[in-house]
Amino acid sequence: MASSDLRKKLTPIRDQLSCGSCTAFGTIGAWEGCLNILRGVLIDLSEQDLFFCSGGGCSIGNEMDPVLNYARDSGVCLEECCPYDGREHKCGEGKCTEWWASGKKLDSWRAITNKEEMKITLNSIPLVGVMEVHQSFMNYQSGVYHSLGWLDPILGGHCISIVGYDDEKEAWLLRNSWGTGWGEDGYCWIKYGDSEIDTCMYEIIPDGEIPPQPNPPTPSPCKVGKTLAKIINFFCWLGHRRGRFFYLNPSEG
């Protein structure tokens, strides 16, 4: 019987509080684990940055594609640069001005729908998972969870990290974002096939590089032209007119 348990290679369990930001927590939980396993980098990324800048809202949640695409295309800052507080925010609100200097981004991501391929991947790295949440899931404490069928109302969709499996238990090991007081210190074994847990999982590949720096103005190589442009701009200012000369080349676009 095959099994995998990556809990010892992950960052501490988080708590998303009362905000519906599970897509960011499920993604970053797996992402931080991948960085530690593949790059040897123990890091704390900002769920708040990822969630709100990918179009999420506390009361409306978010879809997986925008979250994963934003992480790949734009990158995410560190937690210390944009701390999570469980309240509604606009993208970039309170974010460090030079966040990109220590931020991370994904190289790529892909969906996996084959259960054996999910297990093979989980032998090495965690995955991002999605599931239906039944009422009984809220009260899970320990053991292998399974829903109660049509007697067990579905409350909504949820994103978590999948961090292992056990063929003897016939269950996946998931990492939740409801704090350590829920489940088995924040984790849960869930029966194969239950709650749509293995309909689709997402593999993420971190590139280990910082996001690109926003394009700064490029200093002019011509010192004489730079000085002359300053003088001309000074006279424009005296005439209460906006100067149209640049001693720094404007950034493209």
Q: Which of 22, 53, 81, 82 is labelled catalytic?
A: 22
Predicted local distance difference test score (pLDDT) of residue 242: 38
**Mean pLDDT, residues 142-151 taken together:** 94
Q: Residue 182 corresponds to which tokens in the numbers above?
A: 């829920």
Q: What does CATH list as the number for 3-206? A: 3.90.70.10
Q: What percent of the chain has pLDDT over 90?
A: 78
Cα–Cα distances in angstroms (integers) from residue 123 to residues 57, 127, 164, in the given order: 34, 10, 8
Prediction pTM value: 0.83
Say how far apart CA 103 and CA 242 lie, in whole Å. 37
pLDDT band of 150, cuts 50, 70, 90:
confident
- For the stretch 2-61, pLDDT in tens is 999 999 999 999 999 999 999 999 999 999 999 999 999 899 999 999 999 999 999 999
CA gap 25, 9 in Å, rounded: 17
Cα 105 off chain centre by? 9
Q: Is the pLDDT of residue 240 over 60?
A: no
Tell me if residue 22 is catalytic.
yes
Q: What pLDDT sits at residue 241?
A: 41
Out of 36, 158, 159, 188, pick the active-site residue. 158
183 pLDDT band (50/70/90 cuts)? Answer: very high
SS3 content of the chain, % helix, strand, coil (to 5): 30, 25, 45
Give the pLDDT confidence score for residue 1 in this predicted structure.
Answer: 83
Burial of 236 (0-12, 13-18, 19+ CB in 10 A): middle
Q: What is the pLDDT of residues 194-220, one digit of tens each?
A: 999 999 999 999 986 666 666 554 444
Listed range (66-70, 178-182, 219-223) with the worst mean pLDDT? 219-223
Q: Stretch 73-82: mean pLDDT, rounded?
A: 96
Catalytic residue among 53, 159, 176, 188: 176
Q: How deeply is 2 buried, as exposed, middle or buried, from its count of CB atoms within 10 A (0-12, 13-18, 19+)? A: exposed
pLDDT at residue 22, as a whole number: 98
Domain locations in the chain as residue ranges: 3-206, 218-249
Which token pair is 20? 């519906």
In angstroms, rounded to a whole number, what is the distance separating the alpha carbons of residues 193 and 170?
A: 9
